[in-house]
Structure 1
Amino acid sequence: MRLLAIGKTGAGPEAELFSRYAARIRPSLTLVEFAPGQGSVAEIKRREAESLLGALAAQDFAIALDSGGQTPDSEELARLLARWTESGKKLAFLIGGAEGFDATVIARANARLSLGRLTWPHMLVRPMLAEQIYRAQMILAGHPYHRAGRP
């Protein structure tokens, strides 16, 4: 399972938090980062799309983190993750740059996922997504990590 993201995390609390959750996920979640594009907005999107799409294999199941995507709760995400995993394809989550995705990335995506209507810094989305993937796996395993019954 991979997370393909535009921008470099560097060292810091966001990277540490991502690493903490990514290490718990099975199969492990590998982060692959790409430099942000340069130029006009259209050129930035095109260059970033080229990087992201170039890293995908034809058989990968691509999930674009996009504000127009599905907004499941954690239990619904667990069911989605199970379905995506059962496809037998390798999962690749995609995080775009500050300008968003080029239309070619959305067209290639097998699914679109939103972490909600709020705008999040891209460096925070990485650990948030990793935690939600881990939570989904714990839900599927029947582990008490997720406390659905709490008020």
Structure 2
Amino acid sequence: MKTELILIGKTNDKLYVNGINDYTERITHYMPFGIITIPAIKNTKSLSEEQQKQMEGEQILKLIQASDTVVLLDEKGAERTSLQMATWLEKRQQTARRLIFIIGGPYGFSEAVYKRANELISLSKMTFSHQMVRLIFTEQLYRACTIIKGESYHHE
């Protein structure tokens, strides 16, 4: 199963870039994994939040195939412990051909992206910066991989 993370806009802060790159490299030891970055929309001052979400949504949907399992990282999504995430991921590895996680832009997702999604996952009830969410998510994906393999990274 190929797993991909779709992002809107570049990660700028070197602290996050280094951490995300480290976890991405670690994840690839367990499964094929890649990050696709959609460039941030330019000149957004003249656009409404809805227009911005619509434009980002069109870019996201161009990258998704009909057979993909699509999971949005969204505040309305299901919260899971790390062990539950590992169990969830292991099940998806058996059923999905390509698993796509998406972190939306500053205003979330368009209605069309919500309709295409198979599931929503929330990392926390708290709000984090988009750059921080990228780091937290890649660490949690790596953690889930180590749990599945029975490695000692995660302690309970």
**Contact kept in structure 1, 2:7 and 2:36, CA below 8 Å:** yes
Alignment of 1:20-39 (within 5 A): 20-25=22-27, 26-37=30-41, 38=44, 39=47
Larger displacement relative to structure 2 (123-132 or 80-89): 80-89
Larger displacement relative to structure 2 (57-66 or 34-43): 34-43
Deviations for 1:76-132, whole angstroms, at most 9, x for unmatched residues?
Answer: 000111111111321111000111111111111111100011111101111111110
CA RMSD of aligned residues (A): 1.2
The AA in structure 2 aligned to 1:58 is: A
The AA in structure 1 aligned to 2:31 is: P
Q: Give how far 1:28 is off.
A: 3.7
Q: Cα gap change, 1:121/1:57 in structure 2, threshold over 3 Å: closer, same or farther?
A: same
Residue of 56, 59, 63 corresponding to 1:51: 59
Q: Give how far 1:11 is off.
A: 5.7
Cα distance in 1 for residues equivalent to 2:150 and 2:26: 16
**Contact kept in structure 2, 1:36 and 1:44, CA below 8 Å:** no
User: Helix, strand or coil for the counterpart of 1:10?
Assistant: coil
Q: What is the TM-score when the length of structure 1 is the normalising length?
A: 0.93
The AA in structure 1 aligned to 2:66 is: A
Cα distance in 2 for residues equivalent to 1:67 and 1:42: 18
**Structure 1: runs of 5+ lacking an equivalent:** none
1:13 partnered with 2:21: no
Cα distance in 1 for residues equivalent to 2:149 and 2:88: 14
Q: What is the TM-score when the length of structure 2 is the normalising length?
A: 0.90
Cα distance in 2 for residues equivalent to 1:90 and 1:18: 21
Q: Give how far 1:65 is off.
A: 0.2
